[in-house]
């Protein structure tokens, strides 16, 4: 989906993904729901960048980055950056191969490292943090918390809190998702395989009951919510495509899209 946006390197990365068919961007045959989802992911990506732009530290640790190349782009823009890009070992091995095929490492002027890290492994987490020179750290993630149950979420909070208490800095998470009402769930088209995936990973249950519940949860883990990203839908590259397929009722509405997620900048109290 990100290949349909201007997110750096997304198109090149998608081209490398081995699928049953050659990856072919077809902008014409996509419907409203497809573009809504692309908008969601582009906005989520942009929301992290927005808040990262409000921090002054150039030490960035990205958790569970998947096949996202924000780190390369960040190091292209900031020669003084130290960006540690992490995910589980299997993903990192494939991503390393992609970086080599696309010769992306030469784009980074700053110090870019791609390392395997299970974000819940305390020893590996501390060892990764220790690679940064002194000074505050920005820890960022998108698309992780909904895979973790409450106990795992607390473990992760504890590791991040300890690191930020010692080093200073902040945690920017785009994973403040709230559970959808039954009507909302029923109205969203979903393929069988998507529904099975959501079920298998308990995605809906792992979301927060409400934004207030999420705030309370983070406060109980020792964090303060300092800032929330403000979506700038007009600036998203998906907008011209989405506008073409907007149903009449939505086109005439002055309301922003329903809020299903928030991106927060947190500090350790
Ligand atoms: C939905 S993807 C999101 C990837 C990327 N952040 C993005 O937005 O495109 C979830 C990612 O979380 C990673 N993941 C799941 N559990 C993890 C863990 N315990 N530690 C680190 N990464 C994990 C998966 O390998 C996967 O790459």
pLDDT digits (tens, 9 = 90+) for 133-176: 999 999 999 999 999 999 999 999 999 999 999 999 999 999 99
Domains of the chain: 2-268 (3.40.50.150)
Residue 90 Cα, ligand 1 centroid: separation in angstroms? 11
Q: Which residues, 6+ apart, have CB-to-CB distance to 30 below 8 Å?
A: 4, 241, 245
Looking at residue 231, what is its pLDDT? 96
Least confident segment among 18-27, 65-74, 111-120, 141-150: 18-27
Residue 195 Cα, ligand 1 centroid: separation in angstroms? 19
Q: Check pocket membership of 144 for ligand 1, CB cut-off 6 A.
A: yes
Give 248's pLDDT tier (boundaries 50, 70, 90): confident
Residue 199 vs residue 262, higher pLDDT = 262
What does pTM read for this prediction?
A: 0.94
Q: Check pocket membership of 124 for ligand 1, CB cut-off 6 A.
A: no
Looking at residue 31, what is its pLDDT? 85
β-strands 111-116, 59-62 pairing: unpaired
Q: Check pocket membership of 65 for ligand 1, CB cut-off 6 A.
A: yes
Of all protein residues, the one whose alpha carbon is nearest to atom 26 of ligand 1 is 66
Looking at residue 253, what is its pLDDT? 82
With the most atoms of ligand 1 within 8 angstroms of its CB, the residue from 72, 88, 159 to mutate is: 88
Looking at residue 105, what is its pLDDT? 93
Of ligand 1's listed atoms, the one at least distance from the Cα of 90 is 25
Residue 53 vs residue 186, higher pLDDT = 53
pLDDT at 225 over 90: yes
Q: Check pocket membership of 155 for ligand 1, CB cut-off 6 A.
A: no
- Contacts by 129-135, CB closer than 8 A, 24 or more apart: 129/61, 129/163, 129/167, 131/82, 131/84, 132/59, 132/61, 132/82, 132/84, 132/167, 133/59, 133/82, 134/167, 135/57, 135/59, 135/167, 135/168
pLDDT at 127 over 60: yes
Give 129's pLDDT tier (boundaries 50, 70, 90): very high
pLDDT at 210 over 60: yes
The number of C-alpha atoms within 13 Å of 135 and in the hemisphere containing its C-beta is: 12
Segment 11-46, tens digit of pLDDT: 999 989 866 555 566 666 788 888 999 999 999 999
Looking at residue 88, what is its pLDDT? 98
DSSP state of 3: G
Looking at residue 194, what is its pLDDT? 80
Least confident segment among 36-50, 91-105, 178-192, 207-221: 178-192
Please spell the DSSP secondary structure of 190-232, one letter per residue: --HHHHHHHHHTTHHHHSBS-HHHHHHHHHHTTEEEEEE----
* Residue closest to 214 by CA, chosen among 225, 205, 204: 225
Q: Check pocket membership of 206 for ligand 1, CB cut-off 6 A.
A: no
Q: Check pocket membership of 88 for ligand 1, CB cut-off 6 A.
A: yes
Q: Check pocket membership of 143 for ligand 1, CB cut-off 6 A.
A: yes
Residue 63 Cα, ligand 1 centroid: separation in angstroms? 7
Least confident segment among 29-38, 175-184, 186-195: 186-195
Looking at residue 25, what is its pLDDT? 64
């Amino acid at each position: 989906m990100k290949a349909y946006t201007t997110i750096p390197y997304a198109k090149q990365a998608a081209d490398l993904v081995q699928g049953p068919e050659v990856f072919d961007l077809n902008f014409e045959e996509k419907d409203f729901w497809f573009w809504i989802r692309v908008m969601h992911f582009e906005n989520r990506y942009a929301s992290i960048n927005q808040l990262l732009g409000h921090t002054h530290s150039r030490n960035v640790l990205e958790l569970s980055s998947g096949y996202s190349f924000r780190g390369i782009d960040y190091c292209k823009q900031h020669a003084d950056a130290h960006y540690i890009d992490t995910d589980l070992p299997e993903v990192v091995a494939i991503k390393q191969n992609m970086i080599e095929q696309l010769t992306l490492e030469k784009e980074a002027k700053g110090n870019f490292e791609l390392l395997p890290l299970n974000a819940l492994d305390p020893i590996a987490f501390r060892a990764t943090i220790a690679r940064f020179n002194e000074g505050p750290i920005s820890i960022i993630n998108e698309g992780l918390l909904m895979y973790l149950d409450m106990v795992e979420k607390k473990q992760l909070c504890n590791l991040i809190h300890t690191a930020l208490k010692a080093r200073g800095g902040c945690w920017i998470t785009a994973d403040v998702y709230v559970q959808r009402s039954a009507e909302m769930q029923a109205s969203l088209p979903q393929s069988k395989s998507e529904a099975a995936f959501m079920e298998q990973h308990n995605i809906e249950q792992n979301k927060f009951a409400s934004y207030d519940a999420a705030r309370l949860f983070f406060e109980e883990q020792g964090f303060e919510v300092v800032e929330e990203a403000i979506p700038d839908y007009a600036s998203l590259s998906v907008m011209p495509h989405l506008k073409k397929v907007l149903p009449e009722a939505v086109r005439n509405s002055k309301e922003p899209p329903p809020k299903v997620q928030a991106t927060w900048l947190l500090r350790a109290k």
